[in-house]
Structure 1
Amino acid sequence: MDKRKVVNLEDRLPKLKEQRKSRANRRLIIYMSVFFILILFILYTQSSLSNVAKINVEGNEYTSKKEIIKASDLSTHTSFFSVDSDDVSKKIKENTQIKSASVEKAFPNKINIHVKEYDRVAYVADDGKFIPILENGEILKSNQGEDTHGDAPLLVGWTNGERLEEMIKELIKIPDSIAHSISEIEYTPTDVNKMFITLYMNDGFEVTANIEDLSKKILAYPQIVSELGPKAAGVIDFEVYDGLYDPYFKDDKKEDEAEEAQ
């Protein structure tokens, strides 16, 4: 006879039933927990608690935070979960002054907007205001005029057209360190040269040049001025300057002295 221990099934049945019941209870608790979490999440997303609470704007210098938020079409009534970052970015870039925009959602209810604006390459005067011209060639509307133009030259005597477009293209190529030293650029065409311009510099010099090669020739300006010395004043002619020979310099002081001697 087999002497191995015989297991009594009647003794094990209650334990098996208890284990099954315990597992069923655990599953029920898990299902109920997931169900209630989903219900709470749905209630949260449908309530004002899930609305955008704060909108941060960075990178703007000329465009106000208010303008950018208005362009984004976001508000504290917007559901955080309904915000499409790419869609908001496209809306912001519809503003003519915005070059690029990125939108980041920060849980639970904050939106971060970072913009890059087009540089201002020049201004035109209009009814006491200065209208910015952007690096993409866009001329802003009259109601977007500003009180000063210290960060870019003022264009004088220009009208919309091919010459102005060429001038803007040249200005974009000029380094900021030199562009910021230009106070005004006047369109001064002659009968034989329709591309002739006169620049009035912040240091008192005048520069004459042609539109089409201004960005190349103006690079020599800082060195030429340093060689002339701090007391010099007059007109630097870049019209025929080719980089090999010094541009013609008309010394105003010497001419004044000659006139006084006569």
Structure 2
Amino acid sequence: MEYIKNKREKQRLKNIRKRKIRKFLTAFFFIIVFFLWGVYFLLQSDLLNLKKVEIRGNNILTVEEITSAGQLSINRNIFQYKLADIEKNIQSHPLIKEVTLQRKLPSSIVIELKERDKYAIIPYMGSYIYIDQDKVVLQVSESYLAEDLILITGVEFQSFNLGDQVDISKEHLLDVAMELVEASKVVGIGEIISEINIEPEDYIKLVTFDGIEVLIGNKTDLAYTVLSLKEVLTNLYTRNLKNVIVDMRYKGQISIRNRENWEENE
């Protein structure tokens, strides 16, 4: 009798456990269904529709230009967008260097970006190619729009595309010219330099807005050379001498000659 009693008790406990498990599974199922229904409701409602695009870091491009590049549309559910695709689209714009995105519930997307700055201009077949410090092509214009940027002339192009680095021959000379641009800005004479010509084989010619020509060896210490050039130009402007050629091609030697005398000797 005791055996039968124990067996019935075990069966009763087993049935109780089964009922508890069924109740738990039923409750869990309803929770999942309710959750999925809630998600579906949110995705179909206007609550999560894109209402605002927050853009941070843009100084050149407008909000409209950036949202257009990212193919963003107001009143579309923010979870229907793939952020990686938006980043890729915006990154393809020539003026964008870096971009990150995040969703901001319930109805915003935040775009943080870093723009490329126009650094120099390269004339080419009647057009002007604007490049940044990484030699990426930012813009091609038929007119010279930014007079505060230095012209780099004598560049021989292989090819160029918006958003890509320029493909040129004598690339090392363009690198030297870019170093000269940077050094001139650091020492405070960038605003008076009009042109840097890299066409000569063994030196680079720098021209100021006043017409002073400066010949610089392409293998010299550029930082030291530009510091010396600042002193030379200061002295020339103090003496109101502009129609001159400054020869700094040889280390430790600086010669200044009148342009007419130079051309006669040449």
* TM-score, normalising length: structure 1: 0.66
Q: Equivalent of 2:245, from 228, 235, 245?
A: 235
1:199 alignment partner in structure 2: 206
Q: Equivalent of 1:170, from 156, 173, 176?
A: 176
**Is residue 207–residue 236 contact of structure 1 (8 Å, CA) maintained in 2?**
yes
| Bigger Cα Rg | 1
Q: Residue by residue, what CA displacement relative to the aligned partner does 1:12-71 show, whole Å, maximum 9, x if unpaired?
A: xxxxxxxxxxxxxxxx9xx99997786455323223442211223333344444333233
- Supply the distance in 2 between the matched residues of 1:167 and 1:68 (Cα, whole angstroms): 35
- Counting only pairs closer than 5 Å after superposition, residues 62-141 of structure 1 correspond to structure 2 as 62-126=60-124, 129-140=127-138
Q: Which amino acid aligns with 2:150?
A: P
- Supply the distance in 2 between the matched residues of 1:43 and 1:62 (Cα, whole angstroms): 40
1:182 aligns with 2:193: yes
**Is residue 118–residue 138 contact of structure 2 (8 Å, CA) maintained in 1?**
no
1:127 CA displacement: 6.5
2:153 alignment partner in structure 1: 156
Task: Name structure 1 gaps, 5 residues minimum.
Answer: 1-27, 256-262
1:198 CA displacement: 2.0
- Supply the distance in 1 between the matched residues of 2:221 and 2:60 (Cα, whole angstroms): 27
**Is residue 170–residue 213 contact of structure 1 (8 Å, CA) maintained in 2?**
no
SS of structure 2 residue aligned to 1:50: coil
* TM-score, normalising length: structure 2: 0.65
Q: Which amino acid aligns with 1:185?
A: I
Aligned residues: 217
**Is residue 155–residue 199 contact of structure 2 (8 Å, CA) maintained in 1?**
no
**Is residue 130–residue 149 contact of structure 1 (8 Å, CA) maintained in 2?**
no
SS of structure 2 residue aligned to 1:236: strand
Task: Name structure 2 gaps, 5 residues minimum.
Answer: 1-26, 158-167, 262-266
Coordinate RMSD, CA, aligned: 3.5
1:123 CA displacement: 1.1
1:203 CA displacement: 4.7
**Is residue 118–residue 136 contact of structure 1 (8 Å, CA) maintained in 2?**
no
